[in-house]
Homo-oligomer: A and B are copies of this chain.
Amino acid sequence: MAKPKSIHVILSLLIIFTSALTSNASERSNLPSSSKWAPRFLGKYSHLTKPNFRQPQIRYETRYYDQSLDHFSFSELPRFRQRYLISTEYWVGPQRMGPIFLYCGNEGDIAWFAENTGFVWEIAPRFGAMVLFPEHRYYGESMPFGSRDEAYRNATTLSFLTAEQALADYAVLITELKRNLSAEGCPVVLFGGSYGGMLAAWMRLKYPHIAIGALASSAPILQFEDIVPPETFYDLVSNGFKRESTSCFNTIKDSWDALASQGQDNDGLLQLTKIFRLCRPLKRVVDLRDWLESAYSYLAMVNYPYPSDFLMPLPGHPIREVCRMIDGGPVGTSILERIFEGVSVYYNYTGQTECFELDDDPHGMSGWNWQACTEMVMPMSSSQDGSMFPAYDYNYTSFQEQCWNDFKVKPRPTWITTEFGGHDIKATLKEFGSNIIFSNGLLDPWSGGSVLQNISESIVALVTEEGAHHIDLRASTKEDPKWLEEQRATEIKLIESWIKNYHREKRGSFVM
């Protein structure tokens, strides 16, 4: 029986990945401090990141809204300053009912998301749209209780960090803003990627009077309870390797035992330190294992068909490259040496890194870990056969204990599906709701928990075989493959149809 792996790592991948996608070195210092649940490398390696294409010129104003801390009770609570970024540069204004593009900020600094959601900025001019990026409470600068330290002090101060409160923040903010601009008649279109995509889809469902449609990219709204099998995520990561090379998959699968066995040797930890060129002596094998697992999971998410540079500079088809290294070592190379060569593609593609920091020092609580321990309970297992990771059966009891230890909070594992649905989503939404695009790339391991089939005529799934995690939301590049251009063109067409339809209805009601 294999040892249980650190299930918490993956629960944090959603945030870490999106943060990673959207951060750059100079802003990293503002990142929520990572905890033992999160991959450790985020802050360390980000300075290696150098964009390989120009972001579109993004200009916005930063403003703040005095927001209610609790929308659903009338407790006497201090309000907080919610940051939002706004650009009216291309907006045609209220008279012409110019649309408002609202990106549902997710678990990170909103400026990063704004800078890394080029799609919205690129299409705003052709729509004459206002662009709005409100920040998610408890992230970036939008801290209740005056500071991050106070907001993250304990379960009481953190208790208002929920998706419903964040959605209500957006609803109140946009309603107020439209009122101030006499823009009540302007249609709002929602955008979001990853957790932000979940928020966009949910907001369209819960606040149809506020937004006419949503583009929810890589939004795993079905990754809850028993809606999809708990093995889905790791099986998909593993498939990404298997499709490149069975022997690569097998080598990784075998490596965990090799790692454990090496760790048990007399000078095992020292040997591992050497093999993996760690900057400091390895203390526990599990830290190295987490580091490797994170690399594979991230690789699956950013397995784009062209060179990219998010958390790490990577070649196109990075998994192919990793497997080439793992499979291609000279005769006599050990499993672990091959593994090292493989993950070096991820951690050190530029070759500039002398040694690696695992950063296994747990410190502080992170916002997403809190969310994972309260509402966002996503069961994750690693299957015996389909997964190249150590086998692990999701165990709610130990998850709950961990949450209690870390936050003194009790998760509500069935709440998200009670509040937002998920089971039998096709039957529910077939004749209810409209105007949602669920876009997904099948290489993205999060796609397994997303909506991959059309639900109705206007709640549609855009699925790309070769796509990974919400690449459609990023700025276009000269290297974009045809299918990506087509995907974005379809998205634009659908959004256009929502707005046209809205304008037609509005004009109709003026005549009435």
A residues whose Cβ falls under 8 Å from a Cβ of B: 68, 70-76, 155-156, 158-160, 162, 164-165, 168, 171-172, 175, 184, 205-210, 374, 409, 412, 414-415, 417-435, 458, 501-502, 505-506, 509
Contact = CB atoms under 8 A, between A and B. Distances in A.
Contacts of A412: 68, 74
Contact of A172 (B207, B418, B429): B418
A156 B428 contact: no
A509 B71 contact: no
Nearest to A407: B74
Identical copies in the complex = 2
B72 A164 contact: yes
A134 to B, nearest CB: 14
A430 B431 CA distance: 12
Nearest to A163: B72
Contacts of A505: 427, 430
B175 A421 contact: no
Contacts of A159: 73-76
A225 to B, nearest CB: 11
B70 A73 contact: yes
Contact of A421 (B68, B208, B501): B208
A74 B158 contact: yes
B156 A76 contact: yes
Contacts of A165: 72-73
Given A73-B72, A423-B184, A208 B433 contact: yes
B171 A418 contact: yes
Given A208-B429, A433-B433, A155 B74 contact: yes
A438 to B, nearest CB: 16
A417 to B, nearest CB: 8
